[in-house]
């Protein structure tokens, strides 16, 4: 199950799509479900699958010693085919979405262009920097966690808001940016356990939180970030769905203060993003 869903990156792609879908539902008050345009959500999911596959492939070829042996073996066996598959899916989905943008208003299209550029810089730069040493942000001190949190926030909050046509600036957009901050805290909080898992294989120059402060302090900070995200979702979201998942994540993240089985990371922690998007629907329907 871990290899089929986790290592192929289908699970994380589904997580990105559903987390973004929760934002689309929230920002449209459910109206988007009457005449859905899922091209953006397909693009977000397919692009996420491609970015993770590209990053893992780069790591397996350039820094194999930084990968767990079982994941390295899987990428060496299937990485090439996965790369082709995700490239085709990402190109098809993004083309379908961009063709739809051509029929949108010019102002909205220009905003999307800026967001696409930001997403590309964050996503590609995380895996590989073509300038200088070629090290991606993942390998540079203090940049890994912000890059991941900002990328996911852009994909699952800001893009859906722009897709619905919300104004990203002005006083009326304050709840939107409150949600964006809450999402960044949530993603950062559930990402720290991965650094605890990789404590023994990450080079010291990465300067991850567990390397600097140890697993226990790092997990305590992660729990604080999750609590902040829950409070932010309670204040800014349309229902208690995402706040509930932030609270649900607390005992799971606390449990990862020591390395656990791979399924905890590839399925359970990543699955929290699936639950996050789904919870917005569940709570919305119940209300």
pLDDT of residue 97: 80
Exposure pattern of 43-72 as b/e (b: 16+ CB <10 Å)? Answer: bbbbbbbbbbbbbbbbbbeeeeebbeeebb
Token pair in block for residue 90: 């990402």
- Residues listed for the chain: 287
Query: What are the two backbone dihedrals, phi and then psi, of residue 246, each rounded to the nearest 5 degrees?
Result: -60, -40
Asked if residues 46 and 86 have their Cβ atoms less than 8 Å apart, the reply is yes
Asked if residues 22 and 278 have their Cβ atoms less than 8 Å apart, the reply is yes
pLDDT of residue 106: 44
Instruction: Per-residue pLDDT tens, the chain, 287 aa: give them.
Output: 888 888 899 999 999 999 999 998 888 875 555 555 678 889 899 989 998 898 888 878 877 887 888 888 899 899 889 999 999 999 998 888 877 766 555 445 556 667 666 776 666 666 555 444 455 666 665 778 888 898 899 999 998 888 887 888 877 788 899 999 999 999 999 999 999 998 888 888 788 899 999 999 999 999 999 999 999 999 999 889 999 999 999 999 999 999 899 899 999 999 999 999 999 988 876 55
Largest CA distance in the chain: 53
pLDDT of residue 131: 47
pLDDT of residue 59: 79
DSSP code at position 142? T
pTM, rounded to two decimals: 0.89
């Amino acid at each position: 199950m871990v290899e089929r869903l986790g290592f192929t990156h289908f699970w994380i792609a589904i997580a990105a799509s559903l987390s973004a879908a929760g934002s689309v539902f929230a920002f449209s008050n459910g109206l988007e479900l009457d005449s859905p345009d899922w091209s953006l959500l397909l693009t977000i999911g397919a692009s996420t699958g491609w970015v993770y596959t590209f990053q893992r492939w780069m790591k397996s070829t350039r820094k194999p010693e930084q990968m767990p042996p079982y994941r390295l073996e899987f990428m060496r066996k299937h990485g090439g085919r996965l790369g082709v598959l995700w490239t085709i899916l990402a190109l098809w989905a993004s083309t379908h979405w961009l063709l739809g943008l051509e029929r949108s208003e010019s102002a909205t299209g220009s905003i999307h262009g800026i967001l696409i550029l930001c997403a590309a810089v964050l996503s590609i730069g995380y895996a590989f920097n073509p300038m200088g040493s070629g090290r991606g942000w993942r390998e540079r001190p203090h940049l890994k966690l912000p890059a991941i949190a900002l990328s996911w926030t852009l994909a699952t909050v800001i893009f859906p808001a722009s897709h619905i046509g919300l104004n990203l600036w002005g006083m009326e957009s304050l709840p939107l940016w409150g949600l964006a901050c809450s999402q960044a805290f949530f993603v950062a909080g559930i990402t720290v356990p991965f650094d605890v898992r990789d404590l023994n294989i990450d080079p010291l120059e990465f300067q991850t939180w567990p390397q600097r402060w140890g697993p226990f302090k790092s997990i305590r900070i992660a729990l604080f970030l999750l609590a902040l995200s829950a409070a932010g979702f309670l204040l800014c979201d349309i229902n208690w769905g995402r706040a509930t998942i932030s609270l649900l994540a607390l005992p799971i993240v606390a449990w990862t203060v020591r390395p656990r089985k791979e399924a905890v990371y590839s399925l359970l922690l990543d699955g929290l993003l699936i639950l996050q998007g789904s919870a917005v629907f569940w709570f919305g329907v119940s209300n």
